[in-house]
Structure 1
Amino acid sequence: MNFCRFQLLFLVGIIHTCFALECYKCPVDMRDVFHCSDPFENRSFKRTCEKEEDVCLKVSVRGGSNHLEERGCANRKTVDTICNRVKQNFLPEDVICAVCETDLCNASQRRDAASLLYILLLSFIIIFMYKG
């Protein structure tokens, strides 16, 4: 019976993941422009994206004394427009727009390794419970 509950919870988690993308979204606060910079450690800025927002976006501006980063949800069709607007205010070669499609993928790279480890661990637990 416990195994059936676990399978049900696992399926609900998968279904939720298929329909609701989560990204990190840094609130704009000009008094503290560094709270969103890499290495990104503030995991409290999780946001469930709107239905039309299908990608996570991380915009970085690096050049001279500038080092700003912004994170959030976006619609894939508007990403180029967003990036071009940022490039109008800074040197285009200083602007990097990174787009990704999985939950919380717009964090620092260390987060991606942790997510992979979590998925592997969950897979081993499921295999172990299924064989037992």
Structure 2
Amino acid sequence: MARAQIPDSDGLAAVLATRGEAPTRDQKAMAVRYTLQLLAERAPGNTVEVRVPPFGATQCIEGPRHTRGTPPNVVEMTAEVWLDLARGVLDWDDAVQAGNVYASGQRADIGGLLPLLRGRFAE
């Protein structure tokens, strides 16, 4: 069964709401899930697992399929860091060097796929 897709209008509204000083948990959750959805659409596959706890995770990038246990290529970060990367407010290399992103595995560099929103929501 396919996952329900977040409509662009709802997802973009949530992303915009997270730019404010105090987004609700629901707004943050929808913004994270929507941008993870965009990532999976941009780079379909199952080689890298991108985790943004506690709101969501997705698999992306073509290559060897992972099916059990901890995947060999994992990227994990907070919702705030993820949304800044997705909007283009934060640079991938800077986030990794600052220790704000955990990236493990040969294919865990997703910097070339970011930003997802092409700077439309940069601050």
Specify which structure has the higher proportion of helix: 1
- Which structure has the bigger radius of gyration? 1
Q: What is the TM-score with the length of structure 1 in the denominator?
A: 0.28
Bigger RCO (CA 8 Å, 6+ sep): 1
Specify which structure has the higher proportion of strand: 1
